[in-house]
Amino acid sequence: MTDISKPDIRPVNPRFSSGPCAKRPGWSPEALSDAALGVSHRGKAGKAKLKQAIDLTREVLGVPDDYLVGIVPASDTGAVEMALWSLLGARGVHMVAWESFGSGWVTDVVKQLKLDDVKKLEADYGELPDLSKIEFDRDVVFTWNGTTSGVRAPNGDFIPDDREGLTICDATSAAFAQALPFEKLDVVTFSWQKALGGEGGHGMLILSPRAVERLESYTPAWPLPKIFRLTKGGKLIADIFEGATINTPSMLCVEDYLDALNWAKRIGGLSALLARADANFAAIDGFVEKTGWIANLAADPATRSNTSVCLKIVHPAVASLPADEQATFAKGIVALLDKEGVAKDIGAYRDAPAGLRIWAGATVETSDLEALMPWLDWAFHQQLGSLKAAA
């Protein structure tokens, strides 16, 4: 069926899921042994853990001193929705999207908030919209890194310093792997289970002074559920940014996030995290560049993600198939590699074009990705042989 031999070397850790992502190297359940369990998260021990998570987040990410960092309900989704429902409506909005999660925020603003003055700037999977067309006299909502498209903003140069509106950035697959220019961003959100491999549950909400000023000077026209409320009596609920969460967090998950943050500090902080993610992407990209049957979904090298690396199959025998059959072919590769125990969860996102998606964030070892690449080639040719045999 194929003359490509099954590789001899296997990844030590086959977990390449784009969320929840791989745990940090060397992780074990013993890392959670100091969790504040069986006590109130509002008590001294619990609140201290939550405050430590906030402080370490600021330290590792390099968040400016005058920005606020808070822990909020419902993962990154909750953090984004809290920002949208609490901040938007004071002026026109420009929604910018180039993958499924960004498109989801467009839907929420247009169909759920039902704002009247909304402009949209969108691009297909693999492309970045013309960012020069964004109107920054409006509030702007966008994802920094397209988790389901593998397309990221290359830098923050497109955002003016003298913008009138707020910039609301979903950075869940960018934080801890890509340099975020906080001075350009008024709201930044992410979740624990992405780039540091934490467990799910709560999300992070980072606010600039401009965002805080909006919160305290503007009251939305719609009612806000309790879990979205950031102000009381026209003033910011400051306790949220000191460890007083709106609802009950899992202290096991908090401890796991603390473990990941402390690991990040031990290996050299943000610069080390970025370097690891870049090296991981390079291991995949080098294989793609010399392999004819696969290509990056992101068309422009400058916009290719170093975390959620999305790949498409370009071999003529597959690319010429109907979309559903291309998806079946790609799923066959994913299933074969999963059966072999060398790669877990590397299928493309359900709404994305058919292909593969491999997480390359800092918690993944470059050696594991290097070991995986020959397996991709082997699995592809296994599937291609089956396709030709069935023709």
Q: Sketch the domain layout of the chain as residue ranges.
A: 35-265, 268-390
Q: Report d(CA 349, CA 20) in Å as an integer.
A: 13
Q: Please check whether residue 109 is in contact with residue 141, taking contact to mean a CB–CB distance below 8 angstroms.
A: yes
Q: Please check whether residue 153 is in contact with residue 128, taking contact to mean a CB–CB distance below 8 angstroms.
A: yes
What local confidence, expressed as pLDDT, does residue 3 receive? 74
pLDDT > 70 in the chain, percent: 99
Helix (H, G, I), strand (E, B) or coil at 254: helix
5 has a pLDDT exceeding 90: yes
Mean pLDDT calculated for residue range 331-335? 98
DSSP assignment string, 111-136: IIS--SSEEEEE--TT----GGG--T
Mind spelling out the 3-state secondary structure of 25-82?
A: CCCCHHHHCCCCCCCCCCCHHHHHHHHHHHHHHHHHHCCCCCCEEEEEECHHHHHHHH
Angle of the 323-340 helix axis to the 366-390 helix axis, nearest 10: 130
2 has a pLDDT exceeding 80: no
Is the CATH code 3.90.1150.10 the one for domain 268-390? Answer: yes
Q: Which residues pair with 356 in a beta bridge?
A: 311, 347
Q: Report d(CA 101, CA 105) in Å as an integer.
A: 7
Local confidence band at 391 (pLDDT 50, 70, 90 cut-offs): confident
Local confidence band at 1 (pLDDT 50, 70, 90 cut-offs): very low
Count of helix runs (H) and strand runs (E) in the chain: 9, 14
Amino acid of residue 371: A
Question: What is the pTM (predicted TM-score) of this model?
Answer: 0.97
What local confidence, expressed as pLDDT, does residue 135 receive? 98
Q: Please check whether residue 155 is in contact with residue 144, taking contact to mean a CB–CB distance below 8 angstroms.
A: no
The topology under which CATH files domain 35-265 is: Aspartate Aminotransferase; domain 2 (3.40.640)
Q: Which residues pair with 359 in a beta bridge?
A: 308
Mean pLDDT calculated for residue range 361-377? 98
Local confidence band at 314 (pLDDT 50, 70, 90 cut-offs): very high
What local confidence, expressed as pLDDT, does residue 355 receive? 98
Q: How confident is the model over 9-27, as pLDDT tens digits? A: 999 999 999 999 999 999 9
Residues with Cβ within 8 Å of 72's Cβ and at least 6 positions away in sequence, in order, are 78, 79, 82, 202, 203, 204, 205, 227, 240, 245, 246
How much is the mean pLDDT over the chain? 97
319 has a pLDDT exceeding 90: yes
What local confidence, expressed as pLDDT, does residue 201 receive? 84
Take residue 346 and report the two structure tokens written for it. Answer: 């590397």
Q: How confident is the model over 35-64, as pLDDT tens digits? A: 999 999 999 999 999 999 999 999 999 999
Q: How confident is the model over 84-113, as pLDDT tens digits? A: 999 999 999 999 999 999 999 999 999 999
C-alpha pair distances (Å), 291 with each of 31, 166, 167, 368, 380: 40, 43, 39, 19, 11
